[in-house]
Chains A and B, each alone.
Chain A
Amino acid sequence: MAREITYIAAIMEGIHQEMSRDEDVLLIGQSVGGSPEDPFVAAFGPDRVRVTPISETAEIGMAAGAALAGKRPVVDCTMAEFLLVAMDQVVNEANRFHYMSGGRVTAPLVLKAGYGFTAGWAGQHTGSIYGMFMGVPGLKVALPSTPADAKGLMATAIRDDNPVLFLHHYLLTLETGDVPEGEHLVPFGQAAIVRPGTDVTLVATGWTVHRALEAAEELAADGVSVEVIDPRTIAPLDVDTVLASVERTGRLVLVDQATRHASVSAIIAAEVAEAGFASLRAPIVQVTALDAPIAYSKPMEDFVLPDVAKIVAGVRRAVDATVPHDAATAVR
């Protein structure tokens, strides 16, 4: 059974169900469990649900230690930028324990944090900084773009025996979608083809998935058939689905809200350039945020971020630059 609920409700439902299923799951954070009326406190008690002071290093470090001691903590870190305050604990501790101990210990924990807000939240609260966490050995990163995926990836994250960074997009918070009621798990490392197409492969994450779908609609009216892919997790990253798609379409456009050199798109572009070169009939196109912090004022905020028009333009560039196959092999 599926019904429509919001993205944020789906995430919390995922956490709630996992906490009901496994009493070792804990939930701590600065905006968690502040009162006995809180539904999580009411359901699971003040042992398992606790509000913390503004102490990111301790919160995330404690989660690592509690995980070593057999618990499965979820830390609500509020916002991705706050992870930076405790960067050592995020990328240099729990993610390395299993390895450094030769497999003797595990540290299952989930760091939940919002990202990607705009709307005038300005320079320090608006980043899409997941690039910093890709390629960190031992750390997995999930970026759901729909309520159903949000619930499913959260459940999988909690059941995963590794540290997982679960980043939810702020602009999707109140978006609704069909979400299965009961147990719902979305595997890591499995991209979703959210719209099949034949002419161009368009890869996007988070909120940009929806912009990509709007762009695809617009382009369809002009006879360009766009296939939209959502990786859903960026570590592990399902490159194979993208490669298979590019093999069919010959063109790759990547959308990312992060800045160019900190983007997922750059990673995917490199992978496809290396393993899918023979499939490409046009240069890979990236539509990313420009290299600037997000300004407070709206016109400048808009200037820097990707939008539907920029995505459409990117697709057109790929289409216009397409080289027919026999010409592609000629020596220049």
Chain B
Amino acid sequence: MTASVHRDVSTAAPTPDVLRDLLTTMWRIRAFEERVGALKRADEVHGLIHLSIGGEGVAAAVCRQLRDGDAVYSGHRAHGHAVAKGTPLDRTMAELMGREDGLCSGMGGSMHLVDVAHGFLGATGVVGGNIPLALGSALAAKQRGTDAVAVVFFGDGAVQAGLFTESVNLATLWRLPVLLVCENNGFAEFTPRSAHTTVERVSDVVAPYPLPRTTVDGNEVGEVWSAFSELLARARAGEGPALLECLTHRLRGHYEGDPDRYREAVSTEDWQRKDPILRLQRAGHDAGWLAADEPAALEAAARAEVDEAVAWARSSPFPAVARAAALVESGGAR
């Protein structure tokens, strides 16, 4: 079996209805993340925050093709994946604000979001730490005989960690329905990929293994949708795992507060070209399915939704301290 999958992605292209749905999701994420950034600066959200600005396209294109019963895992830059997978904005915001009604009752925070009902099984603060967990979900699905899949998002930095090849080997050997989605933004923490490995493309790191791999432009939402839909269909049909590498760029620093001096300056024009939202809107306008006034309306609707979420979150109290001790024993509140 050859490892590389290069197909004409336009055969599985998303329809305008799908694209509009993706755009709505992407605006929801963008509005959410920009607001979280502001709340962090105002100290209403605290701790280590990593924003998904620029990653909305990948999150939407992948997660909007999944069901609640499919497990999604993410890394520390998880807000976009969570929202795209369907975690309610208000409870997600409340979690970031450390409130009682947050997704995890304020116990987890940004890097430990969990929403079992929507199949968002977790963010993690340990780079690549969820990859083996995703294999576990996939194994369980396979053993139950369902066509559910597990998806795990990770950055290119995780690829050099030992657990990555351990997981690729095992997922391939056992034909697990797990989809490895790598958002390669060319940076791991504060240094460029070239300081970490000689292999530029993550898809080349898995080249020795007999699993399909595809590299796409992560800012080109239609391309991500098409590529993922193929790999998803294969996995649901029992044909095993795959790697989808999405080339992306992130706009802000590694975490909010990073003076960003380690990154090359990205000019505003450059960002205008790469921003997945702006690109999709231009494409929609050119293709005729997006009217000229719709972008502003979508943005306004998203921001209004986020405003409501923030208001709701602010009205939620801080957790009672006794919960901390009570929840240590499993069998505590679910």
Whether A and B touch directly in their complex, counting CB atoms under 8 A apart, is answered as yes
Chain A residues at the B interface, C-beta cutoff of 8 Å: 30-31, 34-35, 51-58, 81-82, 85, 119-125, 290-293, 295-300, 302-304
Contact B108 A54 (CB under 8 A): no
Query: Which of A34, A58, A302 has the most B CB atoms < 10 Å from its CB?
Result: A34
CB-CB < 8 A to B162: which residues of A?
A: 55, 57-58
Residue on A nearest B126 in the bound complex, by CB: A124
Q: Is B137 an interface residue (CB 8 A)?
A: no
CB-CB < 8 A to A290: which residues of B?
A: 324-325
CB-CB < 8 A to B95: which residues of A?
A: 296
Contact B98 A296 (CB under 8 A): yes
Contact A120 B46 (CB under 8 A): yes
Contact A34 B109 (CB under 8 A): no
Chain B residues at the A interface, C-beta cutoff of 8 Å: 46-48, 95, 98-99, 102, 104-112, 124-128, 157-158, 160-163, 188-191, 195-197, 262, 318-325, 327-328
Given known pairs A34-B191, A124-B111, A125-B48, the reply for A54 and B321 (CB within 8 Å) is no
Contact B325 A304 (CB under 8 A): yes
Given A300-B106, A300-B319, A303-B325, 10 additional A-B pairs, CB 8 A = A30-B189, A31-B190, A54-B189, A54-B196, A85-B163, A121-B47, A124-B111, A295-B324, A297-B107, A304-B325
Main secondary structure on chain B at its contact with chain A?
Answer: loop
Residue on B nearest A50 in the bound complex, by CB: B195
Contact A122 B110 (CB under 8 A): yes
In the complex, A110→B126 CA distance in Å?
A: 22
A122 to chain B, nearest CB (A): 4
Query: Which of A57, A123, A300 has a CB less than 8 Å from the CB of B321?
Result: A300
Given known pairs A35-B262, A85-B126, the reply for A302 and B321 (CB within 8 Å) is yes
In the complex, A303→B318 CA distance in Å?
A: 13
CB-CB < 8 A to B322: which residues of A?
A: 303
Closest 9 CB pairs of A and B: A120-B47, A296-B109, A297-B106, A297-B98, A53-B160, A53-B196, A303-B321, A300-B324, A120-B46
Residue on A nearest B124 in the bound complex, by CB: A124
In the complex, A52→B262 CA distance in Å?
A: 16
In the complex, A122→B104 CA distance in Å?
A: 12
B30 to chain A, nearest CB (A): 24
Contact A296 B108 (CB under 8 A): yes
Contact B109 A120 (CB under 8 A): yes
Contact A53 B107 (CB under 8 A): no
A38 to chain B, nearest CB (A): 10
Residue on B nearest A57 in the bound complex, by CB: B162
Given known pairs A31-B189, A290-B324, the reply for A298 and B318 (CB within 8 Å) is yes
In the complex, A30→B111 CA distance in Å?
A: 20
26 contacts between A and B (CB under 8 A): A35-B262, A53-B161, A53-B196, A53-B197, A54-B127, A54-B161, A55-B161, A58-B162, A85-B126, A85-B161, A119-B47, A120-B98, A120-B109, A122-B47, A122-B108, A122-B109, A125-B111, A125-B125, A295-B319, A296-B98, A296-B108, A296-B112, A297-B102, A297-B318, A299-B319, A303-B324
CB-CB < 8 A to B196: which residues of A?
A: 51-54
Query: Which of A34, A52, A125, A297 has a CB less than 8 Å from the CB of B319?
Result: A297
Contact B158 A54 (CB under 8 A): yes
Residue on A nearest B98 in the bound complex, by CB: A297
A105 to chain B, nearest CB (A): 25
Contact A298 B98 (CB under 8 A): yes
Residue on A nearest B102 in the bound complex, by CB: A297
Contact A296 B324 (CB under 8 A): no
Contact A53 B325 (CB under 8 A): no
A298 to chain B, nearest CB (A): 6
B140 to chain A, nearest CB (A): 23
Contact B188 A300 (CB under 8 A): no
Residue on B nearest A120 in the bound complex, by CB: B47
Query: Which of A31, A125, A291 has the most B CB atoms < 10 Å from its CB?
Result: A125
